[in-house]
Structure 1
Amino acid sequence: MTATWRTVLAVAWLALLVLAGWLVSQRLEMSGDLRKFMPEPRTPAQKLLIDELGEGPGSRLLLLALSGSDPETLAEQSQALAAALSADGKFEFVANGGDAGLEAIPEQLRPYRYLLSPTLDRQALDAAYLRDQFEQRVQDLGSPAAALVEPLLPADPTLETLKLAESWQPANAPQRLHGTWFDGAGRQALLVAQTSAAGFDPTGQQAAYDAVHGAFAQARGATGTQLTMTGPGAFSVEIGGRTAREAQWIGTVDSIGLILLLLVAYRSWRMPLLGVLPLASAGLAGLGAVALLFQSVHGITVAFGFTLIGVVQDYPIHFFSHQRAGLSPWDNVRALWPTLATGVVATCIAYLTFLFSGVDGLQQLAVFTIAGLGTAALATRFALPALIDPSPRDPARSPGLARLWRAITRLPQPRWPLLALAVACVAVVVLSRGPFWQNDLSKLTPVPADALARDATLRAELGAPDVRHVVVVRGANPDAALRASEALRPALDALVAAGALDGYDLAARYLPSSATQRARQVRLPDAATMRATLDEALAGTPFRADAFEDFLVDVERARRAPPLRPSDLAGTPLQASVEGLLLAGAEQSTALVSLGGLRDVAAVAQVASAHGAELLDMKQASESLVAAYRGRVLAALALAAVLLAATVWLALRTPSRVVRVLVPMALTTLVVLAVLRGLGVELTLFHLVALILAAGLGLDYALFFEHAGDDRDDQLRTLHAVIVCSLMTLLVFSLLALSSIPVLRALGSTVAIGVLSNFVLALLVARHPHAESGTTAPPPGARA
């Protein structure tokens, strides 16, 4: 085939990839929901944790701080920012302490104030009470508060609306300066915004993040005010941006380095371009398979998947390094195919076990990797031979490579030193101090320590509740859960009085149960009685007799209205407060009691248990969930190791050959673990995934050294291929190890250590003693 036809075929292949990319993009739906990488929750605490991670109000909360200007300016800007965000549909509610939270009670709910307020539980709505309230209103109208009170008077002479708004303020709310929340030092204006989008909806959170910055730019004007924003959504957006920036520079350096390496290795500009085709085919096949089999593709799957299928670059490199004049490319790839196929099958088996892990994210990763590896191998076997120059430069004729190989052959092939190395590695792993596993769920989300510190500071200033402990009360339906949580209030009040905790919050604080609302309705006078009572109370006051007709209408509406239910709060600020503490399920509803300043865990747990509730430790739940996840992964790895060994045995069928292939991989795993533990690294899921990749690379190196047999020329070509492969892989993962993102750093450092160890051990263990001429080599395809 002429060079022109080879170019035409390469362009046609590239065109097919472009078309396939467009088709995949039409179906591909990305997801950022971390729950896809979590195992199925088993305990109530784990189920609550998983729900809260993705959909709960905590995952949708943005904490904002304005600083850098004088308090008066910051207060004005806080009000402007709150007004702009409140009018934006991307946010369910925005609070900054303004108007004492009066905005939390929209006009349509105000007639229900006597059903929501506890006033009627201890005070009758009689003439004496109303007269006392009217006397207080006269004083209010002569005070600076007149502008706030006067609009409320016709419908609410008792100011029940203001009482409710004040009672709904956070138990440990920050101080108010100039009508808005400020930190303790008075230097930062504080706001809280809850997004409509879930915390791990990257598109929705990005839109909310941009909306905050846009509104802040308008509110700031020409001042030097600065915005600090934290919370799960802000973290996901900022980390996503940082990941994209790092991926861009790492990808750029990788691409330049790989192109230069291939140019130096093969002295041809065609090889780097042709080598990209199987890799691109693998990536598109992986994406297409996941998009076809799953509703959405997790971003971690794509990031890990493209990193893992980077091993497919090895397939064309082995093919290129073994091509030489006088050998048909088809004969060349046919001779390499048994060894290449063995490595592909073994690696795919390792990831196949993830399909049985019960974790959606790992199943996606398995499908992506298997589809990618298989496609790249088949592309190398059946398409690439038609495109390459059949008579390239033969690496076996390189003087420099020959000198290097002679030096390598002088190295002994150790036996007992390998056993000593294994024992030393085990000793380091066992004797290293510190926890072996990292059980902190937050380590799965690579939030920098300084960002976590800022978040903790803002949460403390805003009086946020304890996120570790929560009391859970269950009921057959939302109203039953509300009623059960109301029964807890006297005991919780006693705990606050005793100093066991500073405060608490629950949905019944905003929306009492139907029974409580009906009991308050009974205490409301009928229309005739209410009018007579009002006339009696107004006697002798400066108010006109007809000034409070709206009040009479509201009382009668509240007396006849059906009790408010959670669904009635839709579209109001109260919706967010109630939904965050009342979880309605298909079979059971759960009311949450958040705790602030918890000091006596045992006392709270005892009170909860005595009232049919439960105190959950969310930290313990997260750690048990991570442990369960790790158990699934380790079980999959154990099965993978057995199947991998079986695959190599079926391919080689000789004990000595099987040992030469498996020993470097097994020892490398121990070496990597020893290095990480010796450096005090606590192992995470990402280290385990990286170990699988390192094992797959080691298996490939050893298989090809074993495949070369004792033929000197084949050994030189294999050495050339493995050097190029290992340098490419080392470049990619060394750059990842330099990343500021802990996940990428863990992946990169683990594989980089594994590549170095695999290369050295495969050379020492898997290579055959060579013959001085190539005549003793078995015919192509005779070795697996």
Structure 2
Amino acid sequence: MSAFLPKNPDEQQRLLVDQIKDGALSRMVLMGIEGGDSSLRAGASERLAAALRDDAAFASVINGDAASRERDQTLLMQSRYLLSQQVSPERFSPSGLHAAIRNSINELGGSAGLILKSIFPRDPTGELPALIGRLTSGRAPAGHDGVWTSASGDTALLIAMTAAPGTDTDAQESVLARIRDTFERERHDATLKLVVSGAPVFSVDARQSIKSEVERLSLVGGISILLIMFAFYRSIRNMLIGLVPVFTGILVAVVAVFLGFETVHAITVGFGTTLLGETLDYSIYYLVQSSGDADWRRDYWPTVRLGVATSVCGFAALLFSSFPGLGQLGIYSIAGLLTAAAVTRFVLPSLPSQPVPASSIRWLGHRMAQICALAQGLRWVVAAAALVAVGVVATHHDRLWAQGLSGLNPAPRDLQKLDERLRLEAGAPNLAHMVVVSAPTADAALRAAEVTEAHLAPLLKNRNIERIDSPAHFLPSSETQTARRSALPDASTLSARLVEATAGLPVKAARLEPFIEDVETARSSGPITTQTLHGTSFEFVLQTLLLQRESGWSVLMPLSLPADPSTAEKSRQAIEAALMSAPLQQKAYFLDVDSQSTQMFGKYLKEALAFSAAGIVGIVGILFVSLRSPVRVLRVLMPLGAAVSLVMAGHVVAGTPMTLLHLVGLLLIVAVGSNYALFFDQRFSAWATGSETAESAEAPARAAALASLALANVSTMIGFGILAWSKVPVLHAIGSTVGPGALLALLLAMAWSRSDSERMKEAGALA
């Protein structure tokens, strides 16, 4: 998917692109252990987490086990005065201490009274309970037998962060293999099962699925095409010669992309090679049409050359796309098409091909002539269907194209549902809505996040925002830590204030000596740093929400908005207004990931459509220059436009929104279909003499042309149509577009070509 991310995003889009390609969420692996009983799952979770923590391939692993909880609790207890937002000079005044201690005493009668009573002498102001409540706020996973579990308790949960970047699919595949191997070694019970999800799983699964599907479908399609070619050519030599333009085109295309981009996306090779299936048509045209006494270079090459020019013009639209993947596909297709055409023109005639059996040509040419006559008889029915398709596309234009990333997601739906379930159960950060602040340094970004959160506090109070998360909650800026440390009184001052603060309360100041010692320790302790958080669950969240980028550092502040859509929209507006009026020295903006991705891809989709339209205009210009007749240009363009409209209408009726890859498929319909339409216009017009009869379709030259079109069309339908059976969305998109589109282009070119009687009338009128 990273191949289809824009190369020139704005600031907000750049953050989204960075997150998709290399962000912490692209390295997050969610794991669930199912089966067995609670104790077996807990034991397996502890052993798996311990083994993975010792593996350098993992940056962190958390599962809520006793060791993790102890590290978290120790950090919070020791650093509570530097972490608590309540710490201020007023809170440690006699009146502030009195109010805080009185509130803690009242809490002792609640459900957590026993726990609070044990820490009361050390924390009479209740900093730790308040801190835990703010950091978790009900989002922490449930716990059973000392580890994290799902709410129902039937799944033990773990979260791991890989050390390798999300775009390194080889490393992610290795990491996932280690996870599974380690689980098999550590589970100790055959009834336990491991389920894994997260972006690395999507990435590896997509690559394996695409590779497997491409290999399987290409093998089936390739063998089918070769068998048909052999049955028609009856010559292995001709089969091999027919592949020369294809493989030469692929080789040159790969080199051209490498020279232009320095790296070649795997998706470019995969889809580009599929697109170059059109080049097989060139060798078919040569081998079939040059049989007998035909001078192929003189009689047929000009038509093929014009078809190549229109194809190149169509794919040239991709060169200007802001998506690197589409740009590479453009260069790949153009270089491959030009090379294959040149090889067909200059190399194939020098190779020792064998004449195609006349019986094959006559039989297929005759069948095609019959189909052509039938299609011509239905031309008005076909025209009506094309007009209906245009109407369907026009009335559904707002729902024609997929929005955002959903159409490009290669993950199967069951894996997406598993990811949603594990992410929700594990309390993983929800980055659907967030405020982003950036600064040159990490500490400055944390300070900007604190200022921003303070400015948004009124919205939190009036419930426009349900919750705000920030890495500054457990890694405050140095300025904030210094201010909180300065608010702590020394031991003698605190002792005197406690005597006054406990007056009238059922607690003696002498009992709070541990509290005085902890405050004094906090005053002399060092600051909280990233190293302080090492080994805790907070380190994991820090890696997710504090990002180092090319331009500096950014803090992500996830927001929970009201569930009601109308209220949530008002909240978005209030947040944006608050950020606009905030006295911030650094940049801060609200990011709705779904809305932003939809907007971003909508913008670039419009761009791709505009460039494609420019390519169509270029094709029209080439045809006008070559054919010099508006009527002939219209006759060539009508089958292409109708085929594209019918395919688009089919997707509308099927309820399948189209993506950028469908757009590539539509361009390929035009590229392939232009060859058919040009042959029916140019070559068959040349045979329109007054002496022809309806049976003249069986004449050698015309039969060869019809047979070559049929053979080329069958190979295209098989090569692309078989991809429509793929379960991988991106492969299915190409197959479901080009397969039927190529057939429609040929049938429509037949239907709207001139019949023999029409040609005879024209020839007689000219005479």
User: Who is 2:542 aligned against?
Assistant: 578
User: Who is 1:745 aligned against?
Assistant: 732
User: Who is 1:469 aligned against?
Assistant: 433
Change (3 A) 1:435 1:662: closer
User: Who is 1:219 aligned against?
Assistant: 186
Quote how far apart the aligned CAs of 1:115 are.
Answer: 3.8
2:226 aligned to which of 254, 259, 278: 259
Q: Is the 8 A contact 1:708 1:714 kept in 2?
A: no
Q: Is the 8 A contact 2:373 2:755 kept in 1?
A: no
**Secondary structure at 1:580's aligned position in 2?**
helix
Give distance in 1, aligned partners of 2:645 and 2:169: 38
2:625 aligned to which of 650, 653, 664: 650
Give distance in 1, aligned partners of 2:203 and 2:385: 42
Say if 2:443 is the partner of 1:479.
yes
1:641 aligned to which of 616, 628, 644: 616
Change (3 A) 1:98 1:622: same
Larger mean CA deviation between 453-462 and 520-529 belongs to 520-529
Aligned length: 711
Change (3 A) 1:173 1:105: closer
Larger mean CA deviation between 578-587 and 292-301 belongs to 578-587
User: Who is 2:695 aligned against?
Assistant: none
User: Who is 1:606 aligned against?
Assistant: 574
1:87 aligned to which of 49, 54, 58: 54
Give distance in 1, aligned partners of 2:530 and 2:200: 26
Change (3 A) 1:493 1:208: farther
User: Who is 2:501 aligned against?
Assistant: none
Give distance in 1, aligned partners of 2:727 and 2:299: 43
Say if 2:9 is the partner of 1:41.
yes
Quote how far apart the aligned CAs of 1:304 are.
Answer: 1.6
The 5-angstrom pairing of residues 755-770 of structure 1 reads: 755-766=742-753, 769=756
1:301 aligned to which of 258, 268, 276: 268
User: Who is 1:673 aligned against?
Assistant: 648
Q: Is the 8 A contact 1:90 1:208 kept in 2?
A: yes
Give distance in 1, aligned partners of 2:571 and 2:354: 80
2:708 aligned to which of 721, 727, 732: 721
Say if 2:164 is the partner of 1:197.
yes
Quote how far apart the aligned CAs of 1:358 are.
Answer: 2.5
The 5-angstrom pairing of residues 220-619 of structure 1 reads: 220-326=187-293, 331-333=295-297, 335-394=299-358, 398-399=362-363, 401-402=365-366, 404-405=368-369, 408-409=372-373, 412=376, 419-431=383-395, 435-475=399-439, 477-489=441-453, 500=464, 502-523=466-487, 558=525, 561=526, 563=527, 574-584=538-548, 589-596=553-560, 598-599=562-563, 600-601=567-568, 602-603=570-571, 605-606=573-574, 609-610=577-578, 612=582, 614-619=589-594
With normalisation by structure 1, the TM-score equals 0.80
Give distance in 2, aligned partners of 1:395 and 1:39: 54
Change (3 A) 1:41 1:399: closer
Quote how far apart the aligned CAs of 1:482 are.
Answer: 2.0
Q: Is the 8 A contact 1:116 1:510 kept in 2?
A: yes
Give distance in 2, aligned partners of 1:333 and 1:111: 86
Quote how far apart the aligned CAs of 1:308 are.
Answer: 0.8
Say if 2:29 is the partner of 1:62.
yes
Larger mean CA deviation between 585-594 and 758-767 belongs to 585-594
Structure 1 gap ranges (5+):
1-31, 137-144, 534-538, 777-784
Residue deviations 1:308-346, cap 9 Å, x none?
11100101010110132456xxx5345432222211121
Match of 1:307, as an amino acid? T
Q: Is the 8 A contact 1:63 1:229 kept in 2?
A: yes
Give distance in 2, aligned partners of 1:100 and 1:586: 36
**Secondary structure at 1:191's aligned position in 2?**
strand
Residue deviations 1:209-251, cap 9 Å, x none?
2222122112223422111111121111112212222112101
Quote how far apart the aligned CAs of 1:365 are.
Answer: 0.9
Match of 2:594, as an amino acid? K
User: Who is 2:659 aligned against?
Assistant: 684
Quote how far apart the aligned CAs of 1:526 are.
Answer: 7.8
Give distance in 1, aligned partners of 2:134 and 2:759: 91
**Secondary structure at 2:469's aligned position in 1?**
strand
Give distance in 1, aligned partners of 2:132 and 2:56: 23
**Secondary structure at 2:541's aligned position in 1?**
helix
Quote how far apart the aligned CAs of 1:67 are.
Answer: 0.4
Give distance in 2, aligned partners of 1:691 and 1:772: 32
Match of 2:35, as an amino acid? G
Give distance in 2, aligned partners of 1:669 and 1:167: 56
User: Who is 1:10 aligned against?
Assistant: none
Quote how far apart the aligned CAs of 1:55 are.
Answer: 2.2
**Secondary structure at 1:467's aligned position in 2?**
coil
Give distance in 2, aligned partners of 1:475 and 1:649: 56
Identity within the alignment, %? 32
The 5-angstrom pairing of residues 48-127 of structure 1 reads: 48-99=15-66, 101-102=68-69, 115-116=82-83, 121=88
User: Who is 1:630 aligned against?
Assistant: 605
Q: Is the 8 A contact 1:465 1:595 kept in 2?
A: no
Q: Is the 8 A contact 1:182 1:190 kept in 2?
A: yes
Quote how far apart the aligned CAs of 1:370 are.
Answer: 0.9
Quote how far apart the aligned CAs of 1:695 are.
Answer: 0.9
Residue deviations 1:123-142, cap 9 Å, x none?
7699x99xx9xxx9xxxxxx
Residue deviations 1:657-690, cap 9 Å, x none?
3333222212212222222223333222222111
Quote how far apart the aligned CAs of 1:553 are.
Answer: 11
Give distance in 2, aligned partners of 1:252 and 1:362: 26
With normalisation by structure 2, the TM-score equals 0.81
User: Who is 1:175 aligned against?
Assistant: 142
User: Who is 1:187 aligned against?
Assistant: 154
Match of 1:679, as an amino acid? A
Give distance in 2, aligned partners of 1:460 and 1:109: 25
Change (3 A) 1:624 1:39: farther
Change (3 A) 1:55 1:756: same
